[in-house]
């Protein structure tokens, strides 16, 4: 740290401005984040927004052959896969803005990963039975 108090304050202010700019950039990029997944059989396609909420839902003709219970379970399973993809996208976005090894990237990435964990590979098939 410089012995000159004015230089130290100017440096601190510049770092604060840089952090604010990075935070604003992150906010804009996260607001645009979306992720999609399709069921393994192609019956359902789901898109989630930056918060993991449903942003789009599409059914194929095959979906109409499922019972309401099977269709609901398939939508949920596919949504979980889209949310897990979103968590990885968010980690990539934050890592790109703040640096992959930064505490900020680790914190936000881990928060999304905990909220939207990778579903087990057999969950969708089990849900359809």
Domain residues of the chain, as ranges?
Answer: 33-127
Q: What is the pTM of this model?
A: 0.81
Task: Name the phi and psi angles at 21, rounded to 5.
Answer: -65, -40
Tokens of 97: 């803005």
- Separation between Cα atoms, residue 46 and residue 79, nearest integer Å: 6
- Separation between Cα atoms, residue 75 and residue 87, nearest integer Å: 18
Report the pLDDT value the prediction gives residue 118, as an integer from 0 to 100: 93
Report the pLDDT value the prediction gives residue 123, as an integer from 0 to 100: 52
- Give kind and range of the element (H or E) at residue 113: helix 103-115
Domain 33-127 listed as CATH 3.30.1310: yes
Average confidence (pLDDT) over 64-71 = 96
Report the pLDDT value the prediction gives residue 2, as an integer from 0 to 100: 55
Which residues is 47 bridged to in the sheet? 36, 56
- Give kind and range of the element (H or E) at residue 35: strand 35-38
Tokens of 102: 């930064």
pLDDT, the chain, mean:
90
């Amino acid at each position: 740290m410089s012995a000159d108090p004015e230089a130290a304050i100017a440096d601190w202010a510049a770092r604060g401005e840089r952090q604010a700019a990075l935070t604003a950039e992150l906010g804009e990029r996260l607001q645009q984040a979306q992720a999609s997944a399709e069921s393994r059989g192609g019956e359902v396609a789901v898109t989630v927004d930056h918060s993991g909420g449903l942003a789009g839902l599409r059914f194929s003709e095959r979906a109409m052959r499922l019972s309401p219970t099977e269709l609901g379970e398939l939508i949920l399973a596919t949504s979980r896969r889209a949310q897990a993809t979103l968590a990885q996208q968010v980690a990539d976005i934050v890592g790109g803005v703040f640096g992959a090894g930064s505490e900020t990237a680790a914190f936000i990435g881990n928060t999304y990963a905990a909220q939207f964990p990778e579903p087990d590979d057999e969950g969708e098939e089990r849900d359809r039975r």
